[in-house]
Structure 1
Amino acid sequence: MTFLGNAGSAGTLLVACLGLLGFILSPFAEWAIAKLLPRLGGLPSTVSRVTTAIITGFICGAFAIRFGSDPALSAFILLAVLGVQLARIDISLHLLPNPLVLSLLLAGLVLFLLPVFAGAHWTELLRAVAGAAMLFVSYLILAIITPGGIGMGDVKLAGPVGLYLGYLGWDQLLYGGLLGFIVGGIASALVLRFHLKERPAEVAYGPSMLAAVVAVSVIWG
């Protein structure tokens, strides 16, 4: 079912509550990251914190509309909270911290077990694991053959991105992976076009990958 189709069936209260939950979890996640990973420089600015909280709340609300009472919703709430934090860090520091990437992968995998416990088949879970492996290997090959183009942080992030896309389906894995490349390429072209301070090699690809998986998750189920 499409995003718009689910919008009419998802309860308004659920959407509002999860949107508010995302808004609240965002600063909590920033506080935890600052405490556990002090090398990242502590808490971001107030403007950054408010912006990420709003974006996180919006994405959580969109996921509530998309998935409704599906047990997999908890995994996608995790994606919203950690994904926005990873994008923020990558944009500001050109860094995708291993503990956060690994947390998104392992915690996402555990939360995808919930639909299985609720009576769903193992197909989606197995496809998610396969998707994580396939996208990781694809990015690893690209990083090897195009040195300086894709960083190892992006390669590692391909694991959880592939996990979520694979859970949704093979088509979502294919097109979501391609969309990440396209958005990243456009971002690089804009940096070149407008002569921004960053060099093309320093463009953060993580946000493009995460934006692609969120877009595919919300719009195409």
Structure 2
Amino acid sequence: MIGPSSTAADIVAHLQTLRSEENIVGMARFGIRTETALGISNPDLRGIARAVKRNHARALHLWDSDIREARLLGLYTADPAQTNEALARQWADAFNSWEIVDTAADLFVEAELHRSLIEEFAADEREFVRRTAFAMIAGAAVHLKREPDATFIGWLPLIERHSSDERNFVRKAVNWALRNIGKRNRACHAEAVTLARRLAASSGKAARWIGSDAVRELTSAKMLERLSKKA
């Protein structure tokens, strides 16, 4: 059995026993990079993460293994207090998968790196690094309950600036960030819908899709009812 005292090598050995060729094939259909995958589902990985608990030094070794599941476990079990800008940049250099990016983005928000890295990562021309910026915004909009609305409204110009990026993993993250800001509360909703309508009316294909999709969700009856119940 694995537990808090397990080493990175112990955990990797355990992961190898759970390999599923059938799951690997299925993951590829969802755009997951499978070259180093073992086919273990994210719910199962989260269960393993709960069993082994946080250990930052071990998390670094898990990341270095270059195995999909070990890298995700490294992100799940890294210590946010020890996750700094230098480490985030180092990991970002190796980002090549949307699911790794989105998991890392949650860790970076928990580590309070969103304030320093969102603008920097958004300006990076690499597809998955740029996605990280907008995945961080999307995650922050959900998890940072006490963050002032001004923070999220202040990111809307960044969303507009990169709404013309037609790369799939960027435009989807830009859209995600816009929608999550709009779902936060009524004040953020009004600002997000204004931007979404402007993008929906633009000539650019990516911006038009981002805006139209956001307008569709943010102005739905279900969403408006939910927001009406918020203070």
Q: What interval of TM-score do these two structures reach, taking the shorter chain for normalisation? A: 0.3 to 0.5
Normalising by structure 2, we get a TM-score of 0.35
Normalising by structure 1, we get a TM-score of 0.36
Larger % of helix: which? 1
Of structures 1 and 2, the one with the larger relative CO (CA 8 A, separation 6+) is 1
Structure exhibiting the larger radius of gyration computed from Cα positions: 2
